[in-house]
Amino acid sequence: MVKNGIFIVLEGLDGSGKTTQAKILAQRLSESYSTYLTAEPSCGKIGTFIRECCLYEQMRLPIEAEALLFAADRIEHMQAELKPALEQGKLVICDRYLYSSLAYQGNSGLSLDWIKTINARALQPDFSVFLDVPPERVLERLRRKKSVMETLEVQRRVREVYLKFVAKGELIRVDGDKSREVVADGLYAKVLEMLRCAKRLGCS
Ligand code: TYD
C-alpha cells in the first residue's frame, strides 16, 4: 500500500470528551488538510455487532472473544475506510484504535502481547493521543445507561494501561480535564506540533 496520508488516533476513557474533541479537531484541521473522521468500533458488520451485542453485561462474551472481535473489526475498518482514505492522501482521525483494545481488553489480565499479536496486521498510526481525564470525572459526566466498561474500577484500570503507554512514549498525553475550548486548543496545538515534526522528518 502506498500510504500518502496521515493517520492520527485519539484515545481516552468513556465520557472523556474524546468524540467531541475528535470532531472539533477534524473541523479545524480541515482548513489545511483533506480530513476523514472515523471511529472504532466501526460502522461495518463486525463493529455494528460489537455495539449491539457485546457491550452490556447480560451479553458479555469471554474476554478473548471480545478482543478477537475488536481486532476483526479493525481489519474490516482498515480495508473499508482507513486504507482508501490514506491512499487518497487524507488526514485520518480515528476515535479509538489499537490502544483501546490494549487498555480495555488488556486491563483485566489478558496478555498485552497477545492483543498486539492478533492486531499485528492493523495499520500503524502516525500518532496516538491519549486525552486524559480522571476516572471520577468521566463517571460524573456519563448520565446515559452505562455499558459494562463504565464503572469506576474498570475506568481506573483502563487509565493505568493508557498511562503505561504514555510513559513508554507510544501515546502522547493531552490534559482533557479542562473546559471544552481549552482542551480543543491544547489538542490542536499538540497535533500541529506533531505534524510539523513529521514534515521535518520527511514522514508526510
Ligand atoms: P465509544 O465509541 O467510546 O463509545 P460510545 O460510542 O458509546 O461513546 O466505544 C464503545 C466502547 O467500546 C468503549 O467502552 C470502549 C470499547 N472498546 C473496547 O473495549 N476495545 C476496543 O478495541 C475498542 C475500539 C473499543
Identify the residue whose C-alpha is closest to ligand 1 atom 20: 101
CA 152/CA 154 separation, integer angstroms: 6
DSSP reduced 3-state for 39: strand
Percent of residues, the chain, with pLDDT higher than 70: 93
d(CA 200, ligand 1 centre) in Å: 34
75-95 average pLDDT score: 98
Q: DSSP letters along 41-104, please?
A: S-SSHHHHHHHHHTSSGGGPPPHHHHHHHHHHHHHHHIIIIIHHHHHTT-EEEEES-HHHIIII
How far apart CA 99 and CA 166 sit, in angstroms, is: 11
Among the ranges given (57-66, 81-90, 195-204), the one the predictor scored with the smallest mean pLDDT? 195-204
Predicted confidence at residue 146, as pLDDT, reads 64
Residue whose C-alpha cell is 473489526: 73
- As a whole number, the mean pLDDT across the chain is 92
Beta bridge partners of 130: 11, 173
Q: Are 115 and 102 in contact (CB under 8 A)?
A: yes
Q: Report the atom number in ligand 1 closest to the C-alpha of 105.
A: 19
More confident residue, 44 or 150: 44
State the average pLDDT over residues 23-44: 97
| DSSP per residue, 11-24 | EE-TTSSHHHHHHH
| Dihedral sign for Cα atoms in the order 122, 81, 79, 67 | positive
- Quick: pLDDT tens for 141-163: 876 656 666 788 999 999 999 99
29-38, pLDDT tens digit by residue?
A: 999 999 999 9
pLDDT at 3: 65
User: Could you tell me which residues come within 8 angstroms of residue 151 by beta carbon, excluding any fewer than 6 positions away?
Assistant: 139
Residue 83, all three cell numbers: 486504507
- pLDDT for the residue 199: 75
Of 14, 51, 64, the residue with max ligand 1 atoms within 8 A of its CB, to mutate for a pocket test, comes to 14
Pocket of ligand 1 (CB under 6 A): 14, 19, 39-41, 55, 70, 96, 100-101, 104-105, 147, 149
Q: Whose CA is nearest to atom 7 of ligand 1?
A: 14
Q: Give the sign of the dihedral formed by CA 69, CA 75, CA 77, CA 82.
A: positive
Domain ranges within the chain, ordered by starting residue: 6-153+163-200
Contact 13, 156 (CB under 8 A): no
Q: Closest ligand 1 atom, CA of 40?
A: 24
Rounded distance from Cα 51 to ligand 1 centre (Å): 8
Q: Which CATH architecture has domain 6-153+163-200?
A: 3-Layer(aba) Sandwich (3.40)
Q: Return the best residue to mutate from 100, 116, 147, 161 for the ligand 1 pocket (most ligand atoms within 8 A of CB).
A: 100
